[in-house]
Amino acid sequence: MKVAVIGGGAAGFFAALSVKQHHPKAQVSIFEKTQKLLSKVKISGGGRCNVTNACTSISQLSKAYPRGEKLLKKAFRVFSTQDTMEWFRARRVGLVIQEDNCVFPKTQDSQTVIDCFTREASRLGIDIRKGMGVSKLERKLGKIGLSFIKDPEEQWFDKVIIATGGSPKRSGLQWLEDIGHKIEEPVPSLFTFNMPQEKITRLMGIVVENALVTIQGTKLKSTGPLLITHWGMSGPAILKLSAFGARILHAKNYTCKAQVNWVNTVNHDEVALEIKNIIGQFPKRILANIRPYFLPERLWHFLLEKSGLPPDKKWENLGKKGMNKLVTLLTNDVYDVSGKTTFKEEFVTCGGVSLSNIDYKTMQSKVLANIYFAGEVMDIDGITGGYNFQSAWTTAFIAGKLA
Ligand SMILES: Cc1cc2nc3c(=O)[nH]c(=O)nc-3n(C[C@H](O)[C@H](O)[C@H](O)COP(=O)(O)OP(=O)(O)OC[C@H]3O[C@@H](n4cnc5c(N)ncnc54)[C@H](O)[C@@H]3O)c2cc1C
């Protein structure tokens, strides 16, 4: 059996290794367009490579994927996050689990993962061809022919695994559309919000541990740590929102109003009670000196300034109007978003080959037999935290096993 894997990235390597693991006699070739293998693995996780997430609950894990949740719910039963960790440990790649469940190589160096893959590929006799971008795919007499961008010679295979990664431009997926696949329009996911008109950017570096962010006029909402940056807002709460709202925000041309609930409490009476408690305990102290919910000092002073309340006013003199102002500001503080910035640690593409064209059990194309998909080329993407590599490992493992 001759198997071609298109793409020498995370999913391509893992799929090729899975083919050899399950079908040792298969002849496997990886075709990589560029001169570099595993280039995203190299830069991933700030050079440390967040290989997976230690979450073991499949239903919880699959919720980390705005696109692909249903497919992955099935697929994780075949190859889970625990399987990933065992796979690496069995190949002498020590791993560490951080407090936030993110899993990294013990060396804190992505090169360890690259070395492991290349060592395994060489041990198993996988043929690797660099500078071999595939431009066309055709089926004849049960075989699949590949044409290459720079090589005039067509090559024929029994099975082909497509692992070409996310394509920010639709044109990059044209060759797959040409053979009958439906393409979900690619748009960016995992980005931060630009707020050029907002003075809050003066507070860059401040983190609010548990904020709730919603997008006005939509049902989009997300909770978690929020980081104020010199261009706007970032941190897990914003990144999650950008992932789940990738299409909606794209349609709005990344111009919208973000409503920040700084204390992640939607019940206004509860917030009012917190303020009443402060008034009861510290009536003679001034507003500037007692921070509700232990908000960061600079943020609290900024919010007071925004509310128009004098910072040297005594808490006992807050009054009903002042109370209402504070409750509104703490729970519904609105900021103009105008544009996005790529998140350097990790960014992915929402969109790709439609999951309606893929058999969830085998990763085989429903359009053309003997063609399989693995990784981000499909309409699958996750939030940050090792989830994107996990979906690459899982889909590649299945495609390789069943090819
Ligand atoms: C800066 C950054 C950091 C990241 N950090 C993390 C992280 O720490 N943890 C995590 O889980 N995720 C992370 N991600 C996301 C993760 O890297 C991707 O989801 C993952 O690499 C997808 O794997 P893939 O093999 O599907 O695609 P890719 O890794 O993109 O590989 C696809 C390969 O196919 C090749 N190719 C494309 N077209 C062709 C063609 N026609 N013929 C031949 N070859 C072709 C490409 O050149 C590429 O080498 C990060 C992403 C970025 C950009």
Q: 181-191 pLDDT, tens per residue? A: 999 999 999 99
- Regarding the beta carbon of 183 and ligand 1, being less than 6 Å apart is answered no
Instruction: Match 């499909």 to its residue by tokens.
Output: 378
DSSP of 152-172, one letter per residue? ---EEESEEEE-----SSGGG
> Is the pLDDT confidence value at 344 over 90?
no
Q: How confident is the model at residue 40 (pLDDT cuts 50, 70, 90)?
A: very high
The residue nearest atom 6 of ligand 1, judged by CA position, is: 44
163 alpha carbon – ligand 1 mean position (Å) = 9
94 alpha carbon – ligand 1 mean position (Å) = 23
How high is the mean pLDDT of the chain? Answer: 97
Q: Map out the domains of the chain as residue ranges.
A: 2-187+345-402, 191-342
Q: Residue 215: what pLDDT? A: 98
Q: How many CB atoms lie within 10 A of CB 307?
A: 18
The answer to whether residues 116 and 94 touch, using CB atoms and an 8 Å cutoff, is no
pLDDT tens per residue, range 330-341: 999 999 999 999
Mean pLDDT calculated for residue range 198-203: 98
Query: Any residues with CB less than 8 A from the CB of 221 and at least 6 apart, and which?
Result: 212, 213, 214, 215, 241
> Is the pLDDT confidence value at 69 over 90?
yes
158/231 Cα distance (integer angstroms): 51
The H-or-E segment that residue 128 falls in is strand 127-129
The residue nearest atom 23 of ligand 1, judged by CA position, is: 10
| Torsion 393-394-399-401 (CA) sign | positive
The residue nearest atom 42 of ligand 1, judged by CA position, is: 133
Q: Residue 343: what pLDDT? A: 86
- Regarding the beta carbon of 79 and ligand 1, being less than 6 Å apart is answered no
Mean pLDDT calculated for residue range 97-120: 98
Structure tokens at 399: 């495609």
Q: Residue 361: what pLDDT? A: 97
Structure tokens at 397: 């493992």
Query: Any residues with CB less than 8 A from the CB of 362 and at least 6 apart, and which?
Result: 372, 398, 399, 402
252/51 Cα distance (integer angstroms): 33
- Regarding the beta carbon of 43 and ligand 1, being less than 6 Å apart is answered yes
285 alpha carbon – ligand 1 mean position (Å) = 55
381 alpha carbon – ligand 1 mean position (Å) = 11
- Regarding the beta carbon of 11 and ligand 1, being less than 6 Å apart is answered yes
- Regarding the beta carbon of 225 and ligand 1, being less than 6 Å apart is answered no
The H-or-E segment that residue 389 falls in is helix 387-402
- Regarding the beta carbon of 381 and ligand 1, being less than 6 Å apart is answered no
Mean pLDDT calculated for residue range 2-30: 98
Alpha helices in 289-363 (DSSP H): 297-307, 319-331
pLDDT tens per residue, range 269-305: 999 999 999 999 999 999 999 999 999 999 999 999 9
pLDDT tens per residue, range 303-328: 999 999 999 999 999 999 999 999 99
Alpha carbon 53 to its chain centroid, in Å, reads 12
The answer to whether residues 260 and 226 touch, using CB atoms and an 8 Å cutoff, is yes
> Is the pLDDT confidence value at 56 over 90?
yes
pLDDT tens per residue, range 118-174: 999 999 999 999 999 999 999 998 899 999 999 899 999 999 999 999 999 999 999
pLDDT tens per residue, range 70-89: 999 999 999 999 999 999 99
189 alpha carbon – ligand 1 mean position (Å) = 14
256 alpha carbon – ligand 1 mean position (Å) = 30
279-289 as b/e: b if 16+ CB within 10 A: beeeeeeebbe
The domain made up of 2-187+345-402 is a member of CATH 3.20.20.80: no
- Regarding the beta carbon of 137 and ligand 1, being less than 6 Å apart is answered no
165 alpha carbon – ligand 1 mean position (Å) = 5
> Is the pLDDT confidence value at 346 over 90?
no
Q: Residue 97: what pLDDT? A: 98
- Regarding the beta carbon of 163 and ligand 1, being less than 6 Å apart is answered yes
Measure the CA angle with vertex 183, ends 182 and 184; round to 5°: 125
**Coil/strand/helix, residue 372:** strand
Phi, psi of 81 (to 5 degrees): -65, -35
121/314 Cα distance (integer angstroms): 70
136 alpha carbon – ligand 1 mean position (Å) = 20
